[in-house]
Chains A and B, each alone.
Chain A
Amino acid sequence: AQSVTQPDIHITVSEGASLELRCNYSYGATPYLFWYVQSPGQGLQLLLKYFSGDTLVQGIKGFEAEFKRSQSSFNLRKPSVHWSDAAEYFCAVGGNTGFQKLVFGTGTRLLVSP
């Protein structure tokens, strides 16, 4: 069965510092992988996705993620965090079936300190 693990419930980063959010997945075939961000009281916004090809994926707002098949990981990174990045981040895995059901991780809440 598909599953996603985000081992960090909360992370605090200083503004301007680099960020890495961890995501490990379990999936029987080649996965489709997503990172979404949720600002307080809002729905989810897609940051980036990996379907195939280059394993380093660029997204919006300066985020990137790297797919590592050998480690079953899809970690999200940003070189310099801004206060506006404070939000909850969700990793999700899906497949290439027509229904595209996604399985989400439990989320990582990012706090940005001045």
Chain B
Amino acid sequence: DVKVTQSSRYLVKRTGEKVFLECVQDMDHENMFWYRQDPGLGLRLIYFSYDVKMKEKGDIPEGYSVSREKKERFSLILESASTNQTSMYLCASSQPGGETQYFGPGTRLLVL
């Protein structure tokens, strides 16, 4: 079974803090993705990566950055957290060629 793990299920941070969300997959997938999920808005793509050290902006990249130094790990960084970044963050991975995305359990982030 594909396993995608996220470093925290719940996080509470203060405005202005630097926040790291970590995601690890164990299936040697090429592609990795970060989404945020908000009620009534569904899932929106923040960033994705199709290879080590490669990254592409998704639909809502503002206020976020990412890092992919190893194939299995994809980090989402909030350089200076703001209250409007309070959300559920979901990581996913897939193989190229239109294959299924596999999701982690999510990190619920609260920024005070």
Contact = CB atoms under 8 A, between A and B. Distances in A.
Interface stretch (A11-19, A40-48, A65-73, A78-86): A40-48
Contact of B90 (A44, A51, A94, A105): A44
Q: Give the dominant DSSP class at A's interface.
A: loop
B50, B98, B102, B105: most-surrounded residue (chain A CB, <10 A) = B98
A96 B103 contact: no
Interface string A91-109: 0001111111110111100
Nearest to B6: A43
Contacts of B103: 36, 43-45
Nearest to A95: B98
B100 A34 contact: yes
B90 A43 contact: yes
Interface in B13-53: 31, 35, 40-45, 48, 50
Contacts of B106: 41-43
B63 interface: no
Interface string A40-60: 011111100101000000000
A96 B45 CA distance: 17
Interface of A: 9, 32, 34, 36, 41-46, 49, 51, 90, 94-102, 104-107
20 contacts: A34-B101, A41-B106, A43-B90, A43-B106, A44-B103, A46-B101, A46-B102, A94-B98, A96-B98, A98-B31, A98-B97, A99-B31, A99-B48, A99-B50, A99-B96, A100-B31, A100-B96, A102-B45, A104-B43, A106-B42
